[in-house]
Amino acid sequence: MAGAWDSMAKRLIGANPEHFIKWLASEATFVAVLDLELKSKHLYADALLQITQDDKPGLLHIEVQAYRDPEMQVRLLEYNVLASRQYSHIPVYSYVICLLEVADVVDPPFTRRFLNGEEVHRFYYQVIRLWDIPAETLLHSGWTGLLPLVSLTRSGKQPEMVKEMIDRLAEANEWDLLAISRLIGGLTFKKGPEREWFRKRFDMFQDILKESWVYQEIGQEFLEQGYEKGLEKGLKKGLEQGLELGREQGLGLGREQEQQKRVQGLRLVLMGLVETHFPEITRQAQQYIDTINDPEDLQTIILKISTARRLEEARGIFPEVAS
């Protein structure tokens, strides 16, 4: 199952690929969005865009990172070579857009040496660190496709920046991008009061956002409750148990009991994810999950584990609990 964030990154770039081209390679001209699957190994890039520059063809390869990947340099090199091979060996330039500081990637070049110390590979790419980019840069770029990233930029959490982002997307009727901006904001607005403030900024658009692909494919309940309809794909075991607990909620239950049921349902969904995709860390995850009693914290962990690609990345989501 592709992670929720993978799907969102592909949609975000695919909605306005020309905006990302202008941002990353301002002198190039967008031609087409290409097949993301690199067929020789069935790998999937986040974005692969065909461009021309000075009447010469090229490819722009983009990866979007929300969490640390110690093998990112190797993966970029692999994708770059496979993409060039798949499309008649035209030149490819790779970019990695890091959403959070925890996802930072080592600066290029990436080099490999043979046993005798002789250099055999030297690979260049570009790292885009959103936290180093002023929010105004994206807000004033004129490229609506970049606006959902504003809350992750420098000063992007300030109320006036968030308001301008939301207002501009709403004025442009970019409801899918507005829904993406809400979910992306969950990566940076983590504390109770600020998270509640951020959520309320979107309340007036709820009816419209329910029609967006974010709600239809990921599910509104995945965003707001975590164990209802939103995880129907890929989380069958945990979801069935979580829904069963959800159905047990009756009008006679008090608020505290409802909270307990919700937490228990979310825990089951989360464990279903772990057991399905990373069974090696089941015990570690269970010990950590049992210490979490805040539904919103559990929702955040669900999002993180559903977008994790590698075991080490997943392991880092669940700190060791002292016995």
- So what's the pLDDT on residue 222? 46
Do 41 and 89 fall within a single domain? yes
pLDDT tens digits for range 79-89: 999 999 999 99
Do 126 and 140 fall within a single domain? no
Segment among 106-110, 164-168, 195-199 with least mean pLDDT? 195-199
Do 11 and 125 fall within a single domain? yes
Do 17 and 126 fall within a single domain? yes
Do 112 and 154 fall within a single domain? no
- So what's the pLDDT on residue 2? 38
Q: How confident is the model at residue 39 (pLDDT cuts 50, 70, 90)?
A: low
Do 8 and 127 fall within a single domain? yes
| Reduced 3-state DSSP string for 205-272 | HHHHHCCCHHHHHHHHHHHHCCCCHHHCCCCHHHHHHHHHHHHCCCCCCCHHHHHHHHHHHHHHHHHH
Could you give the CA distance from residue 10 to residue 204 in angstroms, rounded to a whole number? 27
Q: How confident is the model at residue 68 (pLDDT cuts 50, 70, 90)?
A: confident
Do 229 and 188 fall within a single domain? no
Residue type, 89: H
Domain that holds residue 299: 225-323
Q: How confident is the model at residue 312 (pLDDT cuts 50, 70, 90)?
A: confident
pLDDT tens digits for range 111-146: 999 999 999 999 999 999 999 999 999 999 999 999
Q: What is the CATH number of the domain that holds 30?
A: 3.40.1350
Domain-terminating residue out of 185, 220, 255: 220
Count the neighbouring beta carbons within 10 Å of the beta carbon of residue 47.
Answer: 21
Segment among 16-30, 98-112, 175-189 with least mean pLDDT? 175-189
Segment (H or E) for 31: strand 29-33
Domain-terminating residue out of 116, 132, 148: 132
Q: How confident is the model at residue 272 (pLDDT cuts 50, 70, 90)?
A: confident
Query: What pTM does this model have?
Result: 0.65
- So what's the pLDDT on residue 234? 37
Q: How confident is the model at residue 43 (pLDDT cuts 50, 70, 90)?
A: confident
Do 205 and 268 fall within a single domain? no
How much of the chain, in percent, has pLDDT values that exceed 90?
43
Segment among 61-75, 90-104, 114-128, 207-221 with least mean pLDDT? 207-221
- So what's the pLDDT on residue 235? 41
Q: Of the ranges 41-50, 303-312, 314-323, which is most confident?
A: 41-50
Do 210 and 115 fall within a single domain? no
pLDDT tens digits for range 274-286: 877 788 888 899 8
Q: How many residues does the chain have?
A: 323
Q: Hey, is 292 helix, strand or coil?
A: coil
- So what's the pLDDT on residue 152? 95
Report the number of distinct structural domains present in the chain: 3
Average pLDDT, the chain: 81
Distances (CA, A) of 220 to 72, 73, 216: 31, 35, 7
